[in-house]
Structure 1
Amino acid sequence: MNLNRAILTTTLILGTISISNAQEAKHEDTEFYTPVPPIVSPAKVIGNAPGDAIVLFDGKNMDQWVMTDDRSKPATWKVSKGAFTVDKHSGNIETKQSFNNYQLHLEWQVPANISGEGQARGNSGLFLASIGKGDLGYELQILDAYNNPTYTNGMAGSIYKQTTPLVNPSKKPGEWQTYDVIWTAPVFETDGTLKSPAKVTVLFNGVLVQNNFELKGPTQYVGLPAYRKAHGASPIKLQAHGDKSEPLSFRNIWIREL
């Protein structure tokens, strides 16, 4: 048999096998029935907590929160009319419970009578993982971004000093705004070196502003971020920023561990 005939014969044989295999394949071959996803009751109102969520604030009390600088003390921010308001004199607060990967919903409001400008206009922060006292952690900026120019990696929807939001969907002061966050915590090797960085996806008022952004480390006011110290599950922190503008309020906060 010459070479051309050998190639032709082999091609015909392989083609026959391929056709035969395709004819023998069944749709059941690519279907699977386990694992079965658990049933979760969705919220009756969009934005409210689904059935498997941990409610961090239900409009009634601050039982799920403590003071950041002294975790033995309960959070002292004032609750009124289904929301709580930042107390700039008492300091930051954070959750009693620590988390790794999660889905978080939070609603916040800049006062209608807000004063100041730039970073001194309704400044606060949602620290997606608090890793120490003060402002240590990974901050998603909260700030009035409605006709309020500032540096863009410090505006609402930014990962502070690391990246700008994709767009600016801010509402006017006095209106309630929402953050929906998917947080993937950083993972460290046993020797403390970084194995995989933190990542975050953020919807701001239902609009995507951070798309699986990879953080370079904890956020910093001065200097470049880096993963300098290993950590595990961490609380979620809300900032009592020291600017002189009227304080923000929060409501309807819940989390789903992933």
Structure 2
Amino acid sequence: MRKSIFYSIAMLAALLIAHPAFSQKVNKLTSQEKKDGWVLLFNGKNFDGWRQCNGTAMPANWKIEDDAMKVFTGEGKNPGQGANGDILFGKEKYKDFELSIDWKAGKMANSGIFYYVREVPGKPIYYAAPEIQVLDNKDATDNKIDSHLAGSLYDMIAADPATVHPAGEWNTCLIKVKDGKVTVSMNGTEVLSYTHWSDEWNQLVENSKFKNFEGFQEGISKEGFIGLQDHGYTVWFRNIKIRKL
């Protein structure tokens, strides 16, 4: 019996060493992350710092559940109908940064992670901001176009769907922006690489639905807010952290 217990302890210790995430608490920073300049944008307890896009308070269709921010179908709405619930971390704008965020999709879910959000009264969050897609790749109605699948630069560059875990399982998205150069990773695998304010970027916009968006015609901002989308489906977000570069 004693040998079996010692063996179990040894195996657990090996797992913790091999996979540090097992030992890291949700919505907490390790001492090394703090040294490296990471800060939390969500403390797991409340919406401190977050607010409605073009608003001052949190929308009613967001709540804290299981240490995560949860967006759900708004009252009186049907799935797929947002309830004006797009949100921003409104304390600060970011220019060069690394953003890490865990997300989990409900069945048929559709949402997005935005950066460089420029608030314009009467305009939606996607008016002039790049979006990394959040999606239930299997059952969402918007799964017919490759660049609309999870991890993609929405309607511009497709990500490899094999890097994305299915609905009901957590994914980690890492977005790095430095001097206009962007890389996006899903669950540890790089899936996107592109450069803002370049001929490549202009062509991506021209070949997308955004070519007729006034905000994209004006040009995306060189700094802005971090935002999350309410698309009328259930999605969870946690471990939201950022560091300036």
1:251: Cα distance to partner? 0.8
Tell me if structure 2 keeps the 8 A contact 1:63–1:74: no
1:171: Cα distance to partner? 1.1
Greater helix share, 1 or 2? 2
Tell me if structure 2 keeps the 8 A contact 1:69–1:92: no
Percent of matched pairs sharing the same residue: 28
RMSD: 2.8
Compared CA separation, residues 168 and 131, structure 1 to 2 (3 A): farther
The size of the alignment, in residue pairs, is 192
Q: TM-score normalised to the size of structure 1?
A: 0.65
Supply the distance in 1 between the matched residues of 2:64 and 2:166 (Cα, whole angstroms): 23
Equivalent position amino acid for 1:234 in 2: G
1:228 is aligned to 2:209: no
Tell me if structure 2 keeps the 8 A contact 1:145–1:168: no
1:144 is aligned to 2:136: yes
Tell me if structure 2 keeps the 8 A contact 1:178–1:205: yes
Equivalent position amino acid for 2:195 in 1: E
1:128 is aligned to 2:115: yes
Q: Deviations over 1:43-98 (max 9, x none)?
A: 9739963102121112111102111021x224552112201111442420001121
1:182 is aligned to 2:176: yes
1:58 is aligned to 2:9: no
Q: TM-score normalised to the size of structure 2?
A: 0.69
Compared CA separation, residues 231 and 222, structure 1 to 2 (3 A): closer
1:206 to 179, 188, 198: 188
Tell me if structure 1 keeps the 8 A contact 2:150–2:161: no
Q: Which has the larger radius of gyration?
A: 1
Supply the distance in 2 between the matched residues of 1:229 and 1:221 (Cα, whole angstroms): 14
Unaligned segments of structure 2, at least 5 residues = 1-19, 73-81
Equivalent position amino acid for 1:178 in 2: T
Where does residue 45 of structure 1 map in the other structure? 24
By relative contact order (CA 8 Å, sep 6+), the higher-ranking structure is 2
Equivalent position amino acid for 1:210 in 2: L
1:73 to 32, 57, 81: 57
Where does residue 173 of structure 1 map in the other structure? 167
Supply the distance in 1 between the matched residues of 2:222 and 2:195 (Cα, whole angstroms): 18
Supply the distance in 2 between the matched residues of 1:230 and 1:252 (Cα, whole angstroms): 27
Supply the distance in 2 between the matched residues of 1:166 and 1:74 (Cα, whole angstroms): 33
Tell me if structure 1 keeps the 8 A contact 2:100–2:172: yes
1:253 to 224, 235, 240: 240
